[in-house]
Amino acid sequence: MNEIKPRRPRQADIAALAGVSVSTVSRVLANEPGISESVREHILRVAAEHGYQVRSAPEAVPGGLALIASDGVTGGLSVFYESIVEGLRTAAAEHGMSFEVRLIREDRATPEVIRDYMKSARAEGLFLVGIDPSGALRGWIDDEKVPVVLVNGTDPQLRLDGVSPSNFFGAFEAAQRLLKAGHRRILHLTGSHRNTIRERVRGFEAAITSVPDAEGRLVPMTFHGSASREAHELTAAILAENAGFTAAFCMNDFIAVGVLEAVTEAGLRVPEDFAIVGFDDLPCALMTNPPLSTMRVDRAALGREAIGLMMSRFRDRAAPARHVCHGVIPVAGGTVSDVATS
């Protein structure tokens, strides 16, 4: 005669034995919040006594704090950072990470201030969004072994985890689009202390030097006021020189808008007489006439990737630093000939 094995208790059985609803049992066994500790302990005890296998509670995930530069040093790109924060929040919630976001002036990002911010947020992990840490801050991070991820940032020494768009290759491709369209005298409107922007400058210069008869001019910007207005004034002055420049690669799309306005006011046709490529693919790129040709950055993906890097860092605090570089995608627009993206 075959032995009849006892039936594994179901949640309904546990509910009947414990004198509670099935939904309450389900929530307790799934480790959901909102149940009093006395009820939780009672249900778990009944389940264990009757052979119900209870999943162990997941390990608590340390909290994270994101500090975002409020200086506007990259041209007031608030919409750029909004998408990054969306990616950060979404991924943090998926991993069960408590998460706070705060704005901070970069000159106030000192160890003392950040220590207080992290304490009030009950955070172990620090996300620096658009902030390149100073020497003093780097020293504190190293001494205290604070888990840090640079978001839209790079560490030249690769001692801190980070995620960024492919700034060098994105700028190289942007300049190549203009070169393939036949332009040989190209402006690059740029300016910032940030490592990411320096990488775009290097990418632009590499593309220019790859073509023997090409010439590039860096046009430094101060960002005192509107980036579009400053770009408009600088471009108008250069066009008045009749120096023969027929194209511009712009550090971001706000700058490209100002260049487009100046070129149009000078009576030049776009893209026939003067071509423009922006960067970031911000909403304003679709609002110009013609729409901007630009380079698309998946900002939300940068945020999601940053959370993944932090989770890995929480698991292994001593692992070598990693930097994840996301490719950027050319967006056709109408300010450079289509041959540039073929």
Cα 217 to chain centroid distance, Å, stands at 29
Instruction: Tell me how far apart the alpha carbons of residues 25 and 43 are, in angstroms, rounded to a whole number.
Output: 7
For residue 73, what pLDDT is reported? 39
Residue 75 backbone zone (phi > 0: left; psi -120 to 50: alpha; other: beta): left
Q: Cis link prior to 156 (omega < 30° from 0)? A: no
Q: Identify which of 328, 223, 222 has the alpha carbon closest to the alpha carbon of residue 280.
A: 328
**Mean pLDDT by 10-residue block, N- to C-terminus, for the chain (342 residues)?**
62 90 82 76 86 68 92 59 93 91 91 96 96 95 97 95 97 98 98 92 98 97 88 97 96 96 97 97 93 96 97 95 97 83 44
For residue 106, what pLDDT is reported? 87
For residue 114, what pLDDT is reported? 97
The phi and psi torsions of 25 (rounded to 5 degrees) equal: -60, -45
For residue 265, what pLDDT is reported? 97
Helix (H, G, I), strand (E, B) or coil at 40: helix
How does pLDDT run across 189-228, given as a tens digit for each residue?
999 889 999 999 999 999 999 999 999 999 999 887 788 9
For residue 7, what pLDDT is reported? 66
pTM: 0.80
Distances (CA, A) of 102 to 76, 128, 165, 234: 16, 10, 22, 34
Strand partners of residue 66: 101, 127
For residue 339, what pLDDT is reported? 62
Domains of the chain: 11-50 (no CATH), 64-165+300-324 (3.40.50.2300), 167-298 (3.40.50.2300)
